[in-house]
Structure 1
Amino acid sequence: MNCIALPRRIALALCLALLLGLAALPVLAAGASPARQALETATNRILACIKNPDYVNPATRAPLRQQIEDEVLHIFDFREFSSRTVGARWRTFNPDQQKRFSDAFADLLISTYVGKIDGYNGEQVVYTGEVSSPAGDRTEVRSVITMKDGKKVPVAYRMLPKEGGWRVYDVLIENISLVKNYRTQFQDILNSGSPDQLIARVRAKAQEVRQ
């Protein structure tokens, strides 16, 4: 299923965005929003795993890699991600299909981007601001990643309050929405297939990436 993919440069920036986020920022500034606080806490924990001496040893890396995946699952709302990527057709999925798709989509993203974490090479991340909705129920945390070649890539995290905290429901790389990118691909599949067929293809792609 080659269609479920992102351009290579965007994929690299997204890998850094998902896994490193604001970890390279200085100490949390006074007055930072709860959304940014939640994001920075999660990404600092991820960075601590990467810097752990045991991470470079394949024999001791597995528990640390699992901690990284757990942090990603905690800070990202993959059910919200899933419903937004499927779009209006999400209502045609029954509850079991919604759960299976959410699980498969989370597995695909984690397999794709956590698998690239070893490619981190000192890229720098700088926080540039945040914008909240008038109702305060949505916040966009903005940052810029400076790649090794000097190119600056703007990255924005769209977050919402959930279960007493703040969770990411979309990531924008150079103003390209991860949700919209996948929505286009998933809609193409659903135009000629069923929800179960989409779930099967996402699962197969995730398994292919893991192998």
Structure 2
Amino acid sequence: MLEDRMKRLFPLFIMSLALSLPALAQTPCAPEKGASPEKCRIATGDAATVTPSQKITSFQAQVKSDIRKGLTDAQKQAFLNKMHDYFDFSTMAEAALFGEWEKLTIEQRAQFSLAFTAMLQRSYLKKLYSHAEYQASITGEKLKEDKAQVATRLVKSAKGATSVDVTYRMQKTKQGWRIYDVLTDEVSLIRNYRSTFADLIKSKGFSGLMDHLKKQASGPLP
């Protein structure tokens, strides 16, 4: 039941992130030969000046620029790679396992993080193609030191449709603001994953959880 609810909530999170506000102009950054990705990000003002709300909006610009039907596998993979500029997948992976994380070996943690990231990215990409019937707007931002929450409201275009509130939890890293959790009508995406993964580990062990994630992330890109 929890996994079914998670599957229903995840598309709403996808739609909101893709559509919240008109896109900010985003200056392309091509670092000089030998320059690090961090240097490129700093050059665009990411770590120093971009607010959490602007970061969400910046990602929408990336989505509108890159996502369309008929993409090649190389184009899809390029977009998935860019998601690391907006999501803190390492933090999300650790939080999704919570108490189980400490029980894993370093190798198991690395295996899980890779599989979890691949699953989440594929789920995201699959839902982006069907966002046209949704409209969203940023409704507020709460900022406290290196943590932030960006509130958005998602509305389906159909007449009489109800609204859904989606909140992004973010933290400031050396590379700028990154998303580490999403709340849909106050229900946490990471907490839902945590419940599902805990049940899988309890019934099938860590290997069963890995089999589940690999199955979700297998096959051609959507």
Aligned residues: 197
Equivalent of 1:85, from 73, 96, 99?
96
Instruction: Tell me what 2:205 maps to.
Output: 194
Which residue, 50, 54, 62 being the options, matches 2:73?
62
Which residue matches 2:192?
A: 181
Counterpart in 2 of 1:113?
124
Take 1:209 and 1:88, find their aligned partners in 2: how far apart are those partners? Answer: 33
Cα deviation, residue 37, structure 1: 2.2
**What's the counterpart of residue 59 of structure 2?**
42
**Equivalent-residue separation in structure 1 for 2:151 and 2:220 (angstroms):** 29
Cα deviation, residue 26, structure 1: 6.8
Deviation at 1:85, TM superposition (A): 0.9
Give me the whole-angstrom Cα distance separating, in 2, the residues matched to 1:141 and 1:167.
Answer: 11
Normalised by the size of structure 2, how large is the TM-score? 0.77
Quote how far apart the aligned CAs of 1:106 are.
Answer: 1.1
Match of 2:35 in 1: none
Q: What residue in structure 1 maps to residue 172 of structure 2?
A: 161
Offset at residue 9 of structure 1 (A):
4.1
Query: Structure 1 residues 209 and 157, CA, compared in 2 at 3 Å: closer, same or farther?
Result: farther
* Separation of aligned partners in 2, 1:187 and 1:14: 22
Alignment check: 8 A CA contact 2:24 2:61 kept: no
Deviations 1:110-167 (A, max 9, x none): 112211221122411111001123xx12100111111123321111110001123111
| 2:154 equivalent in structure 1 | 145
Contact kept in structure 2, 1:130 and 1:139, CA below 8 Å: yes
Q: Name the CA shift for 1:27/1:117 in 2 (closer, same or farther; >3 Å).
A: closer
Q: Per-residue displacement from partner, 1:11-52 (whole Å, max 9, x unpaired)?
A: 32122135x053x34759xxx9622222222221111123xx
Q: Unpaired segments of 5 or more residues in structure 2?
A: 26-48
* Matched-pair identity in %: 23
What's the RMSD between the two structures over aligned residues?
2.6
SS at match of 2:146: coil
Shift of 1:97: 1.1
Query: Alpha-carbon deviation of 1:172?
Result: 0.7
**5+ long unaligned stretches in structure 1:** none
Question: Structure 1 CA distance, aligned partners of 2:15 and 2:61?
Answer: 13
In the superposition, the TM-score normalised over structure 1's length comes to: 0.81
SS at match of 2:168: strand
Q: Deviations over 1:57-87 (max 9, x none)?
A: x2x5434423331232321111111111111
d(CA) in 2 for partners of 1:44 and 1:34?
15
